[in-house]
Every structure is written in structure tokens, then in C-alpha cells.
């Protein structure tokens, strides 16, 4: 007679519960993961799988914001501010994305406050939004969520030479929204993060199947965005009209010289008036934030332009910076024209608008736009 061990019995029970959950909710592999707890909202049910495994099921929405005891991936840590928390969202393929959260202050019940979901660009991670914009928007009543894309910040890295494609990054953002955000959010993206949001937008309204993969949005904000056609047009304009800038941008970003030169880091991302010790702090965080490239740029450019969207059902704000060293005014205009809107260019602000010395200028423009969304 075969003896069944206690461990085997536990695994069988977990597998049985996992099958039931997959049939009911379509989310496989939720049971049997150690050291995870599932954040719940509203009325929750608890399923006890074993002495060390507890699963929370929300009757309205299954949440997978896992709080983990994880090995730190960034040697230089970003210390969260009061009211902020760091969680991890597990993607269907088993990798986890870092999520920084700051809930909104007490809200006016007569005003709608859509959740804000922030997506960073190259050499950044979720922390870049938590520094200034999270306290600003949460104090106005908005729940703020920032993801670190795979291979960036404290997120897991895929077994590849690059973090993903435009398509996979957009699906990862959509999966986070689908499983954690209960009402249509406003997506806010910066630089290449804004290009990822553009791809997300291009998948909306394309039939029920894609609606299930890409949840509906309340709006979108594209900050210093890479245009829909990619950055090749910007590069060629710089080469032909501003060759010195073209050389500096290439040296700074492609050769990663911004990581070792304070002056070049400042010129690339920030205003000239930012103090060197502040630039150095951000430089160290950016060095640690990107363990692998976001994209294979050659393959990315071959997949562009982003598919166009007809009759977009929500508002889009295209926001640029007057002193942007990376995205020129033509790139800003291209993005705005693509969505049939007028661009807004913030004066005396550099590419990293959310971290720059005058970060509040862009934040105030976005807040005013949010206040007018339903008017």
C-alpha cells in the first residue's frame, strides 16, 4: 500500500483548490506560492489551504498585490515617503512587477477621482513618480499606482537580453489594471512609458476579446512622449540640424555616459539650476533602476508606428517640456497631431518633468486637466 506523505497531501489539496479557482475565475497558479498575501478590498472570503497558505478572494475582484519578503534588486534603495507602500503584482507568466502605491486623501464625495496609474520610461522605475507627483496628486484625492516594468527597479527580470516588447509591456500594464484597479483609470506615461500607453490605447475598442485584455480607461496623459513613429525621426533631425546635441544624446543614453557624468546626466534629464547633489542621487537611482534594456530598439522601430485609433472615447493630454533634451518640439507636435489634440508645452522644465526642479509646473497642468475631465 502506497504511503501518502503530509507534504504530498498538502500539494494535492492545493492543486484541487487551484483547479477550482482557475475554472471559476480564470486565474491559474494562485495557490501554493509561499510568502504571498493577496490584498483585498470590500467584502472578502478566506480559503485556508494549509497552515502557511491563506488566500483572500474578493467577491468583486481578485487582487494579486503580493507583499513579499524579497531579495532587493537595487543596491541603491529608494526610501518611500509617508503614506506610500511597495507591493508586487504577479503576472500570469509568474514574474512579479514592483508597484508603489499612495492612496488619496479624504475625498469630496461630489467629485470623481479616477485612479492614476503611472508608467516610467528607460533608466527609471516606479520610484520616479513617488518622489514628487505621488504626494501632490494623493493630497488632491487621487489614488496613485506606479509600476516598475519587468527588468526595472525591484521587478523580476525575464530570461532574455531585453525586458520585453512594446506589446508585452502594454499587456503587463493591462494585466495590472485588470486585476487591481476597480474603476477605469487615467494612465500617465513618461517617454518610452508613454509609448507603451499609446500601444495600450491602440488596442481599445477592437472587440470583446481585446477589451478583456485591455481594460477601458478614463483618460491618458503622455508626458515627454516618444512619438507614435518612434524616436528615429528625432535622431535624424538632431543629426542634420544639431549634430553636437545628437552626439551628446547618443553618448549619454546609448553609451550610458549619463551614469558616470553628473554634468551630462543633468543636461540630459534635468534643468541646469538643479543642484549637483540632487542630480547625483537621481543618477545613482537611475543606474540601479535598469538591469536590462526596456526594448530591442531595432525590433521596436520595425513594429512602429503605433496603430491609429479612430474616435477615441476618452481625453488624452499630450504634455511636453520646453527644455527637453531628448524629445524635440516636432516630436511633441507629432504625438499631439496623432491624437487630434493640441499639445501643452511647459516652460523652463526638462525631460524628467516629474523629478525636475520645477516638477510642480507639469503636475498642476495635469491636475487642471483632471478637474475638467467630466465637465
Q: What is the pLDDT of residue 25?
A: 30
Count CB neighbours of 189 within 10 A: 25
Looking only at the bridges linking them, the beta strands covering 65-66 and 84-90 are antiparallel
Residue 296's Cβ-count burial label (10 Å; 0-12, 13-18, 19+) is middle
Q: What is the radius of gyration, based on Cα positions, of the chain? A: 21
Residue 345's nearest CA partner among 282, 331, 356 is: 331
Q: What are phi and psi of 275, to 5 degrees?
A: -70, 145
Q: What is the pLDDT of residue 207?
A: 57
CA dist., res. 357 & res. 132, Å (int): 10
Judge whether 268 and 351 are in contact, CB under 8 Å.
Answer: yes
CA dist., res. 63 & res. 25, Å (int): 11
Q: Which residues contact 258 (CB under 8 A, 6 or more apart)?
A: 123, 252, 264, 265, 268, 269, 283, 286
CA dist., res. 125 & res. 285, Å (int): 9
Q: Measured between alpha carbons, how far is residue 199 from residues 133, 194, 253, 374 in Å?
A: 24, 9, 23, 24
The number of CA neighbours under 13 Å toward the Cβ of 38 is 22
Q: What is the pLDDT of residue 74?
A: 87
Concatenated DSSP letters for 101-125?
Answer: EE---SPPTTS----EEEE--TT--
The domain segmentation of the chain, as residue ranges, is: 6-63, 85-231+292-371
Residue 106's Cβ-count burial label (10 Å; 0-12, 13-18, 19+) is exposed
Q: What is the pLDDT of residue 4?
A: 56
CA dist., res. 119 & res. 370, Å (int): 17
> pLDDT tens digit string along 263-278?
999 999 999 999 999 9
C-alpha cell at 21: 479557482
> pLDDT tens digit string along 55-101?
333 323 334 444 344 667 888 889 999 999 999 999 999 999 999 99
Looking only at the bridges linking them, the beta strands covering 116-119 and 144-147 are parallel
C-alpha cell at 110: 461630489
Q: What is the pLDDT of residue 310?
A: 83
Architecture per CATH, domain 85-231+292-371, reads as 3-Layer(aba) Sandwich (3.40)
Only one residue has cell 501554493, namely 32
Residue 283's nearest CA partner among 124, 119, 150, 80 is: 124
Judge whether 328 and 246 are in contact, CB under 8 Å.
Answer: no
CA dist., res. 350 & res. 278, Å (int): 15
Low-confidence ranges of the chain (pLDDT < 70): 1-71, 205-212
Amino acid at each position: 500500500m502506497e504511503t501518502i506523505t503530509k507534504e504530498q497531501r498538502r500539494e494535492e489539496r492545493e492543486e484541487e483548490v487551484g483547479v477550482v479557482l482557475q475554472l471559476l475565475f480564470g486565474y491559474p497558479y494562485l495557490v501554493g506560492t509561499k510568502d504571498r498575501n493577496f490584498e483585498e478590498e470590500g467584502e472578502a472570503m478566506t480559503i485556508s489551504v494549509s497552515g502557511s497558505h491563506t488566500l483572500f478572494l474578493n467577491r468583486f475582484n481578485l487582487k494579486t498585490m503580493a507583499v513579499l519578503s524579497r531579495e532587493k534588486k537595487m543596491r541603491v534603495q529608494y526610501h518611500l515617503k509617508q503614506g506610500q507602500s511597495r507591493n508586487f503584482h504577479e503576472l500570469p507568466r509568474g514574474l512579479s512587477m514592483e508597484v508603489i502605491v499612495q492612496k488619496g486623501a479624504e475625498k469630496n464625495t461630489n467629485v470623481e477621482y479616477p485612479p492614476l496609474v503611472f508608467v516610467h520610461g528607460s533608466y527609471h522605475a516606479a520610484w520616479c513618480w513617488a518622489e514628487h507627483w505621488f504626494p501632490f496628486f494623493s493630497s488632491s484625492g487621487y489614488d496613485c499606482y506606479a509600476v516598475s516594468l519587468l527588468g526595472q527597479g525591484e521587478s523580476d527580470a525575464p530570461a532574455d537580453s531585453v525586458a520585453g516588447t512594446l506589446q508585452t509591456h502594454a499587456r503587463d500594464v493591462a494585466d495590472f489594471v485588470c486585476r487591481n484597479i476597480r474603476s477605469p483609470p487615467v494612465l500617465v506615461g513618461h517617454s518610452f512609458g508613454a509609448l507603451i500607453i499609446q500601444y495600450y490605447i491602440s488596442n481599445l475598442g477592437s472587440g470583446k476579446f481585446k477589451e478583456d485584455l485591455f481594460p477601458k480607461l478614463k483618460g491618458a496623459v503622455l508626458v515627454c512622449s516618444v512619438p507614435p513613429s518612434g524616436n528615429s525621426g528625432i535622431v535624424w533631425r538632431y543629426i542634420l540640424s544639431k549634430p553636437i546635441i545628437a552626439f551628446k544624446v547618443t553618448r549619454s543614453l546609448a553609451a550610458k555616459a549619463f551614469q558616470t557624468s553628473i554634468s551630462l546626466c543633468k543636461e540630459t534629464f534635468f534643468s541646469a539650476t538643479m543642484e549637483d547633489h540632487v542630480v547625483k542621487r537621481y543618477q545613482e537611482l537611475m543606474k540601479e533602476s535598469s538591469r536590462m534594456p526596456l526594448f530591442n530598439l531595432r525590433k521596436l522601430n520595425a513594429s512602429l508606428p503605433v496603430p491609429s485609433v479612430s474616435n477615441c472615447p476618452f481625453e488624452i493630454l499630450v504634455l511636453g517640456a520646453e527644455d527637453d533634451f531628448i524629445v524635440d518640439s516636432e516630436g511633441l507636435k507629432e504625438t499631439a497631431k496623432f491624437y487630434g489634440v493640441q499639445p501643452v508645452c511647459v516652460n523652463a522644465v526638462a525631460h524628467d518633468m516629474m523629478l525636475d526642479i520645477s516638477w510642480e509646473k507639469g503636475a498642476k497642468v495635469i491636475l487642471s486637466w483632471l478637474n475638467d475631465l467630466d465637465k
